[in-house]
Amino acid sequence: MIGAEARQALVRALGERVRFEVPLGRFTSLRVGGPADALASPASREELARAFEVAGEFGLPVTVLGGGFNTLVLDGGLPGLVLRMNRLRSVEIRQPALVAEAGVSHARAVRSAADAGLAGLEFGVGIPGTVGGWVVMNAGIGEREIRDVLTAAEILRPGARATEWIPAAGLGLGYRAARGLPEGAVVVAARFGLEPGDRERIRRTIRELLDRRAQTQPTRQPSCGSVFKNPPGDFAGRLIEAVGLKGERCGRAEISRLHANFIVTGPGARAAEVLTLIERARERVHAETGVLLEPEVRIVGRPG
């Protein structure tokens, strides 16, 4: 719980863009999760800086939820201040680059590049989430990752009054990680270096990738995307399927029958059910193959 003084300070800083005791299920792609002590959606860099300032003054932990993808919020909810970046969603074309704020969806970023006749970001259509999450996770599919097209990221450090741009080379981008991102910093925007291309060819590639994704992933059901990172030389989904867990259920959560590295949920599902399936998959795969799967999904919050 957040004390009265901290609440008043957050309201002074953010006005109607901060709310309290907000259930997070509607803001996560898994549709599960307990309440946030405070949920804020800053509308500018200045408001974001003020939110960090209040959090620092009152010792509130800060969690960036972004678009709510790749995240499992536990049933007890999130303490302190939770930030959504959904109001920061401008896109600019600076030929041959695209600059997008952190709250821009994957679909809009890819579509904007295609409409401008810029090639190189097509693979992103298969990666759910928002631009901020893309950078933090160095998101990718197969042989393509965000670091292949990212040239720089705009960030805000806790306690700073202004943002700064960091070259992609300074972000320590590796497999599903940005290890060079300063501790506690939030990604505000990203610049992607693209190449002029044929609009129809770009759009055709996007359609093909969307068709392939629909055939191999449960795109019509709530999920967090890939649950586990692929171990070297293998695939997490293959291992989970090999130990007989495809279709395994716990309450209203299920290891997808279409792709075993996805967990899908139905109405009324709880985070505890998803967590049970994650632990069950890790334990069974480790026991039968010796491979210890590493979660790709970020697990945050208090147990219910």
Per DSSP, the residues of 124-180 read: GGGS-SBHHHHHHHT-EETTEEGGGTEEEEEEE-TT-SS-EEEEGGGS-EETTEETT
Catalytic one of 29, 41, 223, 226: 226
111 in Cβ contact with 121 (< 8 Å) = no
Q: Measure Cα distances from 94 to 18, 89, 97, 221, 297 in Å.
A: 33, 16, 5, 36, 33
Tell me how crowded residue 211 is: count the other CB atoms within 10 A of its CB.
10
181 vs 16: CA distance, rounded Å: 30
The set of residues, in sequence order, having a beta carbon less than 8 Å from that of 205 and lying 6+ positions away, is: 122
Considering the candidates 47, 122, 154, 296, report the single residue annotated as catalytic: 296
Residue burial 168-204, b: 16+ Cβ < 10 Å; e: rest: beebebeebebeebeeebbbbbbbbbbeebeeeebee
Among this protein's residues, is 296 annotated catalytic?
Answer: yes
Rg value, the chain, Cα: 19
Active site residue 270: no
**176 included as an active-site residue:** yes
Query: In the chain, at which residue ranges do the beta strands (DSSP E only) sit?
Result: 18-23, 35-40, 62-64, 71-73, 78-83, 91-94, 97-101, 118-119, 140-141, 144-145, 150-156, 164-167, 173-174, 177-178, 186-193, 195-196, 249-250, 253-255, 263-265, 298-300
One of 50, 84, 176, 282 is an active-site residue; which one?
176
How far apart are the C-alpha atoms of 278 and 296, rounded to whole Å?
A: 11
Q: Which residues are catalytic?
A: 176, 226, 296
